[in-house]
Amino acid sequence: MVACHRPDPRNQTDRIAFVPNRANNVSDSQGPAEISSQPGESLKPRSTAEDWRSLYPFASHELRIDGWRYHYLDEGQGEVLLLVHGNPTWSFYWRELVRRWRERYRVIAVDHIGCGLSDKPQVYPYCLAQHADNLAMLVRRLDLRAITLVAHDWGGPIGLGAALADPHRFARFTLLNTAAFRSRRMPLRIRLCRTPLLGPLAVRGLNAFARAALSMAVAHHERMTPPVRAGLLAPYDSWQHRVAIQSFVDDIPIDPSHPSYETLLAIEQGLPSLADRPWQFIWGMRDWCFTPAFLQQFSEFFPQARIDRLDDAGHYVVEDAYERIGPLVEEFVLAHPLPPIRNDQPSVE
């Protein structure tokens, strides 16, 4: 795995190019987009037997970071909901909530570098610190304020890393089946994916990690229709395009020698500084990865948090229960109205 070095924030302005409403509008293409591993190459629609694009009728936007396409959705107007996915999903995972919430909020859903419709460089610092920095760059470039973070899986530590970089921009936090603190819990099936040779062969060669999640991460298997399955898998159609899936697996910091351990530790130590904001945890209680034990640990950090337990949902809690999650988040947002917006912060950092 490529060693991860945090970029110097003093150089971030030179590293970013902002390209809104680019012509690669996914709603105008048919079939999954083939994302190249070279910066600047356009999307190349390919035919497919499964019409998943009808489930993803959104305009594409992008930010350029070090020349790489950082793709995101930006739908609706109003208070900002920032949706941050995990592994091995992408912004498609949030599709039903984006469609619902864009009627009353401004909904932004990102694709991490290596994921979804973002570029997938083969040599890149795929690690927690870099993903958090990329998200923080987007937040600053779009000058997002009073954000409600909605994050799942790896999106939890990535989103919280960005929030700790600019805490004045974040107003509320909703986390779903994730972690943002050290833990030695790791299911055997994930440990096997970290095995040299065998892990990459399974994860990148056979797409076993993403394919297995279609059944192992959900409780309501009837929801995994052919278009939904095709949509979740569409960006990860080759060895090269699965580079981030493997990298996320490898980046789980179990012991202090791991390159991302100190980053995760800093996020964990920063959690108390965010305790003055409203917190909500929505948890699929049938998750074998982020089990209820992780929810219990979060509740110790934030004893006043609202907790919504979904007893019949698994790790892909949004797939299992999006029609319940939508109203739960709306209730949470309404219960915690925003304070007056301060205008003394810089618009772009």
The 10s digit of each residue's pLDDT in 296-342 is 999 999 999 999 999 999 999 999 999 999 999 999 999 999 977 65
- Give the residue among 98, 104, 102 at the shortest CA–CA distance from 83: 98
Q: Considering the domain boundaries, does residue 29 fall inside one?
A: no
Identify whether 167 is part of a domain.
yes
Q: Are 141 and 347 a contacting pair, CB within 8 Å?
A: no
In a domain, 249, yes or no: yes
Handedness of CA 227, 231, 236, 237 (dihedral sign): positive
What is the pLDDT at residue 50?
Answer: 59
CA distances from 328 to 84, 139, 177, 270, 331 (A): 18, 25, 15, 26, 5
Q: Which residues on neighbouring strands pair with residue 72, listed in sequence order? A: 61, 110
Note the pLDDT of residue 192.
Answer: 81
First to last CA, the chain: 30
Residues of the chain with pLDDT under 50: 1-3, 5-49, 347-349
Looking at residue 30, its pLDDT comes to: 31
* pLDDT computed for residue 21 by the predictor: 41
Q: pTM to 2 decimals?
A: 0.87
Is-contact 232 116, C-beta < 8 A? no
41 Cβ contact partners less than 8 Å away, ≥ 6 residues apart: none
Q: In what order do the strands lie in the sheet with 80-84?
A: 16-19, 60-65, 68-75, 106-110, 80-84, 147-153, 170-178, 279-284, 306-310
User: Is residue 47 assigned to a domain?
Assistant: no
User: Is residue 344 assigned to a domain?
Assistant: no
Domain range for residue 93? 11-22+52-335
Number of independent structural domains in the chain:
1
Do residues 171 and 50 lie in contact, with contact meaning Cβ atoms separated by under 8 Å?
A: no
Identify the H or E element spanning 343.
none
Q: What is the CATH number of the domain that holds 277?
A: 3.40.50.1820
Assign 148 to helix, strand or coil. Answer: strand
Report yes or no on 104 lying in a domain: yes
pLDDT in tens, 235-250: 999 999 999 999 999 9
Examine residue 200 and state whether it is found in any structural domain, yes or no. Answer: yes
The answer as to whether 320 is a domain residue is yes
Per-residue pLDDT at 346: 53
